[in-house]
Amino acid sequence: MATVRDLLEGKGYDVWTVSPADSLRQTLRLMAEKQIGAVPVIEGGKVVGIFSERDFARHAVDFTDCLDLEIPVRTLMTHPVYYVSPEQTIDDCMAVMTAKKLRHLPVLENGQLIGLISIGDVVKHLLADKQNTIDLLEHFLWVNLI
């Protein structure tokens, strides 16, 4: 069964982070530049929250006059943070994401952030795995029919 580590080996370990004091503007700019949907919020080497496009959308409707882009991201981040370890299975990730209605999960090893996976990463991996199974079955059928 495929693990989170397998998924990270395929997609890479790159992860961009922000600090709780970083402004909403800085955070949104980073996300736009890197074309990512979420960033872990790190303080003292620990993941203390996660900020996503969904967090921004949820909170943007609360501003009646104007949206203050200089507020610290700590005021909008989601916490506590659910996470997975590299040894957990992709099915474990899907279960957590589905149960908690999450689109992103930090990957922690020995308490340290080593990656971030999205629901898209998980689905892509599962689809590739299913295609491999189909290919093997087709090959088996062709070999045994000839």
CATH value at residue 44: 3.10.580.10
Closest-CA residue to 55 (of 43, 67, 37) = 37
Helix (H) or strand (E) holding 121: helix 119-145
pTM listed for this prediction: 0.84
Q: What is the pLDDT of residue 129?
A: 75
Q: Which structural domain range is residue 93 located in?
A: 4-145
What is the distance in angstroms between the CA of the first residue and the CA of the last residue of the chain?
Answer: 31
Mean of pLDDT over the chain: 91
| Strand segments (E) across the chain | 38-43, 46-52, 104-109, 112-118
58-109 per-position pLDDT tens digit: 887 776 656 788 999 999 999 999 999 999 999 999 999 999 999 999 999 9
The SS3 assignment for 48 reads strand
Domain count, the chain: 1
